Amino acid sequence: MQFLENFQPELTITSPGRINFIGEHTDYNMGYVLPTAIGNKITFKFSRNDSYNECNVFSVGYQGFSFDLKEIAVSDVQWENYILGVISEISKLTDKVRGFDCTIESNLPLGSGLSSSAAMECGLAYGLNELFDLGLSKLAMVELSQRAEHTYVGTQCGIMDQFASVMSKEGHVILLDCRSLEYQYIPIHIAPYKLIMLNTKVSHNLASSEYNTRKMECEQGVAILQKSNPEVMSLREVTRAMLEKGKSEMPSKVYDRCSFIIDENDRVIAMTEALKKNDLKTVGSILYTAHEGISNLYEVSCPESDFLVDFTKDNDAVLGARQTGGGFGGCTLNIIHENAVDAFIKEASEAYKNKFNIELEAFEVQPSGGTQVI
Ligand code: GLA
């Protein structure tokens, strides 16, 4: 692209991916989540270009595209929609954005359940807020980025990924109540254990449509339970007793989905307590129980993730493991003793290659800070 020849960025922003300790699919059910940003991130470089409307965006590895601020519409190229969606949502709040040039570079594996999409949306929103002095709060940027995903990308996601990308704090996880948006930072000390991600390298294309289906199934459960419990607004307010009472009125799949969400919310609270007490054995066992639910009740796992989680079970150096993120592939999160990490990765990679003929990717992550100006 032509602007690259003389590009002199005036602003650099980094926007991280995230992991979620526990609390999967609870965000759009108004429950709790426990995510944190990680060191893998997207770097944006920005410059105003003195035009009124013309914008140029170049993504290393993807090529670039140009657009006119006055003619924003959904693109056939999916990654462009992360950009266009954010611009469209910002334009509903302010008319201060002008022409700009931007380069994007990422060391965040895409489509791996580490929320590269939220990192993209939030990094752009944060950058434009700085560049044009838009005066948006962090929460406003989180919320507009989430809306961009709904309107331009088509996934009816909750708020966890955008919140984690912007609001995270180094060395902590965020206990976020997705109903009130109240949050607390919980310090995390897991030495001599490490957080190791195993990337299945599969991202089954069911993900977006099945995600929206899960959301609808949860809403169906709420609608059935509301008949006898009019105070219930979301699965957050549903107790185990209410669900068991309504079981006969709902399709078994809807019951399973609701059952998972109720347990998963409880697991977030139990995990928070275990982390506060440094009770790593409990932390690990909660991960395993959660994966059972992800696989059997919520049915958002896949053979590759199940294989990697099962593979850890005979290894005493692994405290726990589960698939993290929206599902159908991506990464598993593993808590492994530091002395055993190298041998574990070697064995898991061989076993995975034998079974699926895919080269496993393994890397350590650390709870890191959120989106920032460099
Ligand atoms: C995706 C969504 C989040 C959340 C997770 C599952 O990452 O973007 O809002 O629902 O899936 O926990």
Q: Name the burial class of residue 182, with classes exposed (0-12), middle (13-18) and buried (19+) by CB atoms within 10 angstroms of its CB.
A: exposed
Say what the alpha-carbon torsion angle 90, 125, 102, 13 is, to the nearest 10 degrees. Answer: 160
The helix or strand, by DSSP H or E, that contains position 334, with its residue range, turns out to be strand 329-337
The residues lining ligand 1, judged by C-beta closer than 6 Å to any ligand atom, are: 20, 24-25, 27-28, 115, 157-158, 160-161, 325-326
Closest atom of ligand 1 to 28 CA is: 10
Q: 37 pairs with which residues across the strands?
A: 18, 368
Q: Which residues of the chain have pLDDT under 50?
A: none
Mutate to test the pocket of ligand 1, among 108, 211, 217 (most ligand atoms within 8 A of CB): 211
Amino acid at 211: Y
Closest atom of ligand 1 to 20 CA is: 12
Q: From the candidates 161, 266, 314, 342, which is the catalytic residue?
A: 161
Is the bond preceding 192 in cis, omega lying within 30 degrees of 0? yes
Sheet with strand 172-177: strands edge to edge: 32-33, 172-177, 183-187
> What pLDDT was estimated at residue 204?
64
Half-sphere exposure of 348 (CA within 13 A, CB side): 32
> What pLDDT was estimated at residue 207?
60
Distance CA 123, CA 12 (A): 10
Please tell me the pTM assigned to this model.
0.96
Closest atom of ligand 1 to 33 CA is: 12
Q: Is 161 a catalytic residue?
A: yes
Taking alpha carbons only, the member of 373, 374, 372 closest to residue 170 is 372
Nearest CA to ligand 1 atom 2: 157
The torsion angles phi and psi of 52, rounded to 5 degrees, stand at -80, -40
3-state helix, strand, coil in the chain (%, to 5): 45, 25, 30
Joined together, the tokens standing for residue 175 give 């206990």
**Full DSSP string of 129-176:** HHHTT----HHHHHHHHHHHIIIII-----SHHHHHHHH--TTEEEEE
Taking alpha carbons only, the member of 56, 75, 309, 60 closest to residue 198 is 309
Contact 218, 258 (CB under 8 A): yes
Amino acid at 319: L
Q: How far is the CA of 284 from the centre of ligand 1 (A)?
A: 21
Cβ neighbours, 10 Å, residue 53: 12
Mutate to test the pocket of ligand 1, among 34, 157, 217, 298 (most ligand atoms within 8 A of CB): 157
Tell me the pLDDT tens digit for each residue of 10-69: 999 999 999 999 999 999 999 999 999 999 999 999 999 989 999 999 998 778 999 999
Distance CA 85, CA 111 (A): 18
> What pLDDT was estimated at residue 52?
95
